[in-house]
A and B are shown apart, each in its own frame.
Chain A
Amino acid sequence: MSAPMVYDPGGYELDEDQKRVIRWTIYVGYIALLAGIFHGLAQALSYAKIDILGYFPGLRGYYQGLTAHGIANAIIFTFSFANGFLPLMTARATGRQLLRSLLWLSFGLLVLGNLLVIYAVVGNKASVLFTAYAPLKAHWTFYVGMALVVVSTWVASANMFITLARWRREHKGERIPLLAYISVFSYAMWDMASVPIAVSFLGLLTPWTLGIIPKIDPLLTRTLFWFTGHAIVYAWLLPAYVSWYALIPRQVGGKLISDTYGRVTFLLFLLLSIPTGLHHQYTDPGVSPTMKAVQGVLTFGIMVPSLATAFSIMAALEMGGRANGGTGLLGWIRKLPWSDPSVVAQLLAMLTFVLGGATGFVNASYVMNQVVHNTTWIPGHFHMTVGSAVAMTLMGVAYWLIPYLTGRQLWKPKLGVASSWIYTIGILIFARGMISAGLEGMPRRIYRAKATYTDPAWDLGGILTGIGGTLMFIGIALFFVVIAMTVIAGKRGAGVPADIPFSETLAPPSTTGWDTNLDRIKLWVAVAIVLIALAYGPFFIMYFPARFISPGFTGF
């Protein structure tokens, strides 16, 4: 692959010791992903009325597995990756080393949090699903473990902020490098967004499960969950966007068209990701429809940065394809590096994200949401966002990142390409099944193989879910073979990326004028806090005092 348009920054080395911690942080995520996909397979097959739960030794119920699947794949996998990836990007973009102490602290908290959650979930003490709606009551190790995972992300953020602050002290008057900017904004958004869930888990649910407070407020804890819970999907998505904006253009031999638009996109995510959570509660009694409508409008607002992303990334891809000799209206698509497993995984991820975004539009739509709320439409949607756009991007990144971190060549890249194609075909079949059956009212989160009710209209959707889910499982299993063999048996030496492939923009960022205001991180965080206060303030003012009315239930 020729990449004549790209300037090679080069000359940067991250300490071996820091590489090791980052590597192990990301391995924690892969181990979680591996554990979670077995449950995913069982759940997809259950929708096709095939019950393989009996083959899971030690598993005491369907919902225990569903809890494990959600936490392992949606929380641990994504945040372990981001905890390693985003600080690494910040370090590379600023050409600095990270703080060793904070790297280890973040890793330690992540592992400790995981051990507590594993203890709770494996022992069937916390089969409350990852949403953990009270008054279903889990063991304290579950809430504290989840909170520690959140704290590990804060420590990883601190590492990035301090690294960037040190760089800025030495580079007065310079613009923040784009890659550092978008990485830091991703976690700055998440740091604000994660406060409500930390307050709920540590301040309310832990004292309740320990018996310090006898009863809990179900609507308050649910609202605090979704206060974090919509922004969490952007916390999953933004590390993938970092790769699409700053790495993929170079990997395909193109450039990012506009530095300013990259920054504006991440700024809009910082401002709008959080004051939108009530659209997950459109069907909740006890929440005023006016507040729901306000956040519904803001939810439409957050589609703008994703629309801008679609333009910028497509433009960068087209530029790369044409630089590689592509001609005509669509001829450049063929000239993209379709043999590079890292690129293929992410191109296919973008494809599924178009469908994921379009279905999300329905979820966000005020009264239309009632047609699909809590049906299988919803998991159909989010398996096309976090379950493929994000997951496949993180897999695609791994195809260069793991060789970079281990100093070993990628083992059988062709198998990596095959993995992505199989996974994509799988997700399209799976989502088609879940979405069509969801429109017929098939509920999500049910053990369908043993359900006492059914509807013939759900059968085709259920079967497609089972077939698609099986293909997804095979696709990811191949990914694990490639990565595990790379780590164990990859050849050292030539062919190992010595540096991180990040791109430049067509024009450098301007150092004068309005653009420079984009770099005023503290100002924008303050604006975001004002927006959040406006969107959530009225709800809490009208809601308080809290109503501690429900004792706990543990019917699992």
Chain B
Amino acid sequence: MKVHTYEKAFLIAGGVVLLLCGSALAYATFGMNMHLPGKVAQIDPMKVWQTPPFTSPGVHKTGDDEYDVVIVAMAWAFMPAEIRVPRNAEITFIATSADVIHGFEIARTRVNMMLIPGQVGRLTHVFREPGEYLLICHEYCGMGHHTMSGKVIVE
């Protein structure tokens, strides 16, 4: 199979770019410890309020500078809708949906996951800057979707 010189050079250059980008991603994942949501736990979406930890939504201190934030999403609100956490602490968001698929995004952070009925989502984040952050449902969940938001206040 004859390959033109320029085409070969073009594809090699492209391949090198792909490898470099792939390496950067591998470094972000393992070197910088950035992880995607994975398998945490499965629950019955009809019994969310009776299943720990969703029996007590809110902020729970779990150690020195470590907090769990338990949130339930439902059409069309987050429960609780406002949370306060300290900066530079390790915040673990544990969330699920009580009805349809919702989104869980804290604007301008890496906190971004889907909330799927029956699945528990978990993400850890450290807020370095104090201030008020928007918590947004970013997946269509019905006619009130654009009213579904909350606040994360970092002190």
Establish whether residues A445 and B134, one from each chain, have CB atoms under 8 Å apart when the complex forms: no
Which of B3, B36, B75, B141 counts the most A-chain CB atoms under 10 A from its CB?
B36
Establish whether residues B147 and A451, one from each chain, have CB atoms under 8 Å apart when the complex forms: yes
B15 cross-chain contacts in A, Cβ below 8 A: 304
Q: Is A361 an interface residue (CB 8 A)?
A: yes
Establish whether residues B143 and A366, one from each chain, have CB atoms under 8 Å apart when the complex forms: no
A289 cross-chain contacts in B, Cβ below 8 A: 35-36, 38
In the docked arrangement, what's the CA distance between A373 and B18, Å?
21
Q: For chain B, residues 111 to 155, give those with C-beta under 8 angstroms from any C-beta of chain A.
A: 111-122, 134, 136-147, 149
Q: Is B100 an interface residue (CB 8 A)?
A: yes
Known contacts A284-B37, A515-B1; A455 and B29 CB within 8 A of each other: no
Q: Is A18 an interface residue (CB 8 A)?
A: no
Q: Is A371 an interface residue (CB 8 A)?
A: yes
Q: For chain A, residues 308 to 324, give those with C-beta under 8 angstroms from any C-beta of chain B.
A: 308, 310-312, 315
The answer, among A292, A312, A365, A441, for a CB contact under 8 Å with B21, is A365
Q: Is B68 an interface residue (CB 8 A)?
A: no
Q: Is A96 an interface residue (CB 8 A)?
A: no
In the docked arrangement, what's the CA distance between A498 and B134, Å?
60
Q: Is B45 an interface residue (CB 8 A)?
A: yes
Establish whether residues A307 and B10, one from each chain, have CB atoms under 8 Å apart when the complex forms: yes
Known contacts A258-B4, A286-B116; A136 and B142 CB within 8 A of each other: yes
- Binary contact track B102-117/A, C-beta < 8 Å → 1, others 0: 0101111011111111
Which residue of chain A is the closest to B136 with respect to CB atoms? A443
Q: Is A129 an interface residue (CB 8 A)?
A: yes
Establish whether residues B22 and A297, one from each chain, have CB atoms under 8 Å apart when the complex forms: yes
A293 cross-chain contacts in B, Cβ below 8 A: 29
The answer, among B36, B75, B112, B146, for a CB contact under 8 Å with A447, is B146
In the docked arrangement, what's the CA distance between A35 and B22, Å?
41
Chain B nearest Cβ from A208, distance in angstroms: 14
The answer, among B3, B18, B141, B149, for a CB contact under 8 Å with A136, is B141
In the docked arrangement, what's the CA distance between A555 and B102, Å?
13
- Binary contact track A252-280/B, C-beta < 8 Å → 1, others 0: 00000110110000000000000000000
Establish whether residues A549 and B21, one from each chain, have CB atoms under 8 Å apart when the complex forms: no
Which residue of chain B is the closest to A292 with respect to CB atoms? B36
In the docked arrangement, what's the CA distance between A547 and B141, Å?
21
In the docked arrangement, what's the CA distance between A270 and B145, Å?
37
Establish whether residues A375 and B22, one from each chain, have CB atoms under 8 Å apart when the complex forms: no
Establish whether residues A448 and B146, one from each chain, have CB atoms under 8 Å apart when the complex forms: yes
Chain B nearest Cβ from A348, distance in angstroms: 22
Q: Is B44 an interface residue (CB 8 A)?
A: yes
- Binary contact track A364-384/B, C-beta < 8 Å → 1, others 0: 011110110111000000000
Which of A128, A450, A453, A515 counts the most B-chain CB atoms under 10 A from its CB?
A453
| B contact residues, total (Cβ < 8 Å) | 64
Establish whether residues B146 and A374, one from each chain, have CB atoms under 8 Å apart when the complex forms: no
Which residue of chain B is the closest to A552 with respect to CB atoms? B100
Which residue of chain A is the closest to B118 with respect to CB atoms? A549
Known contacts A297-B22, A445-B140, A453-B136; A285 and B113 CB within 8 A of each other: yes
Chain A nearest Cβ from B33, distance in angstroms: 10
Q: Is A303 an interface residue (CB 8 A)?
A: yes
The tally of CB-CB contacts under 8 A between chains A and B is: 203
Q: For chain B, residues 1 to 59, give those with C-beta under 8 angstroms from any C-beta of chain A.
A: 1-4, 6-7, 10-11, 14-15, 18, 21-22, 25, 28-29, 34-40, 42, 44-46
B75 cross-chain contacts in A, Cβ below 8 A: 553, 555
Establish whether residues A374 and B103, one from each chain, have CB atoms under 8 Å apart when the complex forms: yes
Chain A nearest Cβ from B66, distance in angstroms: 21
Q: Is B99 an interface residue (CB 8 A)?
A: yes
Establish whether residues B138 and A375, one from each chain, have CB atoms under 8 Å apart when the complex forms: yes
What range describes how many residues of A lie at the interface? 35 or more
In the docked arrangement, what's the CA distance between A342 and B23, Å?
41
Establish whether residues A446 and B143, one from each chain, have CB atoms under 8 Å apart when the complex forms: no
Known contacts A285-B40, A285-B121, A443-B138; A311 and B6 CB within 8 A of each other: yes
Establish whether residues A261 and B7, one from each chain, have CB atoms under 8 Å apart when the complex forms: yes
Chain A nearest Cβ from B59, distance in angstroms: 20
Establish whether residues A287 and B101, one from each chain, have CB atoms under 8 Å apart when the complex forms: no
Establish whether residues B40 and A440, one from each chain, have CB atoms under 8 Å apart when the complex forms: no
Establish whether residues B141 and A453, one from each chain, have CB atoms under 8 Å apart when the complex forms: no
Enumerate chain B interface residues (CB-CB to A < 8 A): 1-4, 6-7, 10-11, 14-15, 18, 21-22, 25, 28-29, 34-40, 42, 44-46, 75-76, 99-101, 103, 105-108, 110-122, 134, 136-147, 149
Enumerate chain A interface residues (CB-CB to B < 8 A): 61-63, 66, 127-129, 133, 135-136, 217-219, 222, 257-258, 260-261, 281-289, 292-293, 296-297, 300, 303-304, 307-308, 310-312, 315, 361, 365-368, 370-371, 373-375, 440-448, 450-453, 455, 513-515, 547, 549-551, 553, 555-556
Given contacts A260-B2, A283-B37, A307-B11, 5 further A-B contacts (CB under 8 A): A293-B29, A311-B11, A361-B21, A370-B36, A374-B103
Can you give 27 contacting A-B residue pairs, CB < 8 Å? A133-B101, A133-B140, A135-B101, A218-B118, A219-B116, A258-B7, A283-B37, A285-B38, A285-B39, A285-B120, A286-B116, A288-B38, A289-B38, A304-B14, A304-B15, A307-B10, A312-B7, A367-B35, A374-B103, A440-B107, A441-B136, A445-B139, A452-B147, A453-B134, A453-B149, A549-B44, A550-B117
Question: What 4 A-B pairs come out closest when comparing CB atoms?
Answer: A441-B107, A555-B142, A286-B119, A285-B121
